[in-house]
Amino acid sequence: MDKLEYLQKYYPDTDNKILAKKLGITEQSVRRLASKYNIKKSPDYIKKQHESLINARKEKYIANISDICPNNYQLNIIVDSILGDGNLSYGPRGKNAYYREHFCQQQYEYRLWKCAQLEDLGFKINKNNTLKSISHPVFTDLHEKFYINRHKTITHDNIKLLNEPVGIACLYMDDGSLVISKNNKPNITVNPIITLYTLNFGKEENVILQEHIYKTFNVKFNLKKHPDGKKYILTIGKREEVFNFLDIVRPYVSQIASMNYKWDIEKRINYKCKKDKRINTRDFYNRKFLSYTDEDIDKIIDMKQNGYKDKDIANKLNRSYWGIVWKVRDLRSKNMI
């Protein structure tokens, strides 16, 4: 059998490299002879080659994916950033989603802090004031959980990922506010109000978030109507609940100097009092909310050393559970417990 007969018989379903070796010629010569005599590859061969090419590209893509795995602390930051100022997107030809978050220059310090917490996951801040991650299956999975019919959505399942104080702290820093209100009675007093501007979510989703925060962090927000967005926000007007909430988020919010106005009630009230000398703050400070005294710290150390649980210590000192959890962690980091 000469070369031409061999090609006519085997070229349609055989790889050119094999044909070239069998005939003792180059692959270029194989292609040239096939073209000259109009010998073509079979449809089945072309289909198999196409599938092989796709699989090879897929394997190469998977091999080049960074091996990242967010811990629960990092996952909480990402999840509440998705609920807040961030979003998940796909590029024009992207196979996996990525996280991005635009911000103004005044928010740079906060985003720099957030980026530092997530740096080992491939997060960076670019020149356009955007915090951005790499494309990765981790974010594709979160996109599937949080984007239903292309809309960011809170469900009973995905909200379970919010289970650490740092998460609720990020949601507060993204979309929350602390307002010191003043009444108009003769004996003028002040009262703090915390608001989460969850206007991207409807009533049902806000209720899911409200119930989850209460169940997980023991802080009770109220559902309130609002003229903007999807018409609902979450607020706290009860002083005790405000301080409980700030006990939870303060350890994280206080790491960012530009965020002091969101937790430093004492400073905010002092400023208010300078503007209006009639304000009565005597009743406001009827509990040592704002800081842990040396006596408080001694009690915490003594109770932990005697086997008390964090919940029991919180009840004993009239503090929030998460506030005690954080303080215990802080004392342990300093080798005081």
Quick check: helix, strand or coil at residue 99?
strand
Q: Are residues 109 and 149 in the same domain?
A: yes
Report the range of poorest mean pLDDT among 91-100, 128-137, 156-165.
91-100
Band the pLDDT of 234: cuts 50, 70, 90: very high
Q: Are residues 55 and 87 in the same domain?
A: no
Report the range of poorest mean pLDDT among 83-92, 115-124, 236-245, 281-290.
281-290
Q: Are residues 171 and 278 in the same domain?
A: yes
Band the pLDDT of 285: cuts 50, 70, 90: low
Q: Are residues 276 and 217 in the same domain?
A: yes
Q: What is the DSSP string of 140-192?
A: HHHHHHHEETTEE---TTGGGG--SHHHHHHHHHHHEEEEEEE--SSS--EEE
Q: Are residues 132 and 203 in the same domain?
A: no
Q: Are residues 140 and 165 in the same domain?
A: no
Which residue among 131, 153, 175 closes a domain?
A: 153
Alpha-carbon distance of 213 to 195, in angstroms, equals 14
pLDDT at 287: 47
Overall domain count for the chain: 4
Q: Are residues 42 and 140 in the same domain?
A: no
For 319-331, what is the mean pLDDT? Answer: 82
CATH number at residue 127: 3.10.28.10
pLDDT at 288: 45
- Provide the whole-model pTM: 0.70
Q: Are residues 170 and 284 in the same domain?
A: yes
Residue 280 reports pLDDT greater than 70: no
Residue 258 reports pLDDT greater than 80: yes
The helix (run of H) or strand (run of E) holding residue 295 is helix 294-305
Residue 133 reports pLDDT greater than 90: yes
Which residue among 120, 153, 186 closes a domain?
A: 153
The top-scoring range by mean pLDDT among 94-108, 139-153, 281-295 is: 139-153
Q: What is the domain extent for residue 117? A: 67-153
The top-scoring range by mean pLDDT among 159-173, 230-244, 259-273, 306-320 is: 159-173
- 153-163 pLDDT, tens digit per residue, is 999 999 999 99
Structural tokens at position 283:
């009743």
Q: Are residues 330 and 224 in the same domain?
A: no
For 119-141, what is the mean pLDDT? Answer: 92
Which residue among 42, 64, 86 closes a domain?
A: 64
For 13-32, what is the mean pLDDT? Answer: 90
Q: Are residues 146 and 100 in the same domain?
A: yes
Output 321 or 54, whichever has higher pLDDT: 321
Q: What mean pLDDT, rounded, does the chain reach?
A: 88
Q: Are residues 194 and 284 in the same domain?
A: yes
Q: How many C-beta atoms surround the C-beta of residue 273 within 10 A?
A: 16
Q: Are residues 316 and 276 in the same domain?
A: no
Name the residue with tokens 């980091």.
Answer: 333
- 36-72 pLDDT, tens digit per residue, is 889 999 999 888 888 887 776 666 655 565 678 899 9
